Amino acid sequence: MAEEDTRPPDEASGAVDLAPEDRPPLESEGLGGESNPEVLPRSEPLRSIMHAIGVIEQVVGAFLLFVILVLVVALVAQRYLPGANFPWTGEVARLSMVWGTFIIAGYLAAHDRHIAIHVVDYVLGERALAAVKLFVNLVVLVTCVVLMYATYQLVESDIGQVTAAAEIPLRFVNAVPIIGFALTALRAVLGIVVNDIPALAVRTENGAA
């Protein structure tokens, strides 16, 4: 008669329980992994187009950060270099920070990386949570559309003014936020169509069943 194996299941199967620090990282936890996948259309070519827009947003945002770094270093250097006086550096650095905020807003919305306090995620049920997320995206969409209209009116009412130091036309300065609002509104629409409505429909069907 064969001797019965009394070892625990993990030992009998050869599995080894590793400590948390020794376990291999999950795919989303690896270098360059994405814990919040980008919200993209399900069909081509829209999926590739939206992904390309996200890449462009990252490139522009990174470039503006680099511009800010260079200009801030130039501001410091002007204090120690005799005869160096470029008053426009501080102004362009501030504008770059504002432009970068608006340009990258859509990318952050696509990856759910805007600053938020996730409380209802742990309190509400699945169906109620899907409804809340749909409501949030609707609020974001309406807000962006209203701000786009208000900013457009500001650009249209421009009388040819320029900034004080760099003499950049205010029409251009105020037009950049329109792009940011439009990209964020587009991500809100994608969130509604791709995630919220299907999730709410599934919860509704499960509840009816």
Whether residue 28 is predicted with pLDDT greater than 50 in this model: the reply is no
32: tokens are 């360059």
Asked if pLDDT for residue 126 goes beyond 70, the answer is yes
| Residue 162 resides in a domain | yes
Residue 20 lies in a domain: no
pTM, rounded to two decimals:
0.77
Residue 163 has pLDDT above 60, yes or no: yes
* Average of per-residue pLDDT across 126-130: 85
* Higher-scoring residue by pLDDT: 30, 169: 169
Domain containing 119: what range?
41-208
Q: What average pLDDT score do residues 154-164 get?
A: 93
For residue 196, is it within any domain? yes
Phi, psi for residue 165 in degrees, rounded to 5 = -100, -55
Within a domain: 33 = no
Q: Which stretch of 14-23, 28-37, 57-66, 175-184 has the lowest confidence by average pLDDT?
A: 14-23
pLDDT > 50? residue 128? yes
What is the Cα–Cα distance from 112 to 100, expressed in whole angstroms? 17
Q: Is 7 among the domain residues?
A: no
**In 79-196, alpha helices (H):** 88-103, 105-110, 126-156, 170-190
Indicate whether 172 pLDDT > 80: yes
Q: How many domains are there within the chain? A: 1
Average pLDDT of the residues in 19-28 = 46
Instruction: Supply angle C-alpha 62, 65, 68, rounded to 5.
Output: 155
Residues in contact with 34: Cβ distance below 8 Å, sequence separation at least 6, in sequence order:
28, 111
Name, in order, each residue with C-beta under 8 angstroms of 50's C-beta and a sequence gap of 6 or more. 38, 40, 41, 110, 186, 190
Look at 126 and 31; give whichever has higher pLDDT.
126
Is the pLDDT confidence value at 117 over 60? Answer: yes
- DSSP 8-state symbol, 42: S
On whether residue 118 sits in a domain, the answer given is: yes
Q: Is the pLDDT confidence value at 10 over 90?
A: no
Is residue 76 assigned to a domain?
yes
Q: Does residue 31 sit within a domain?
A: no
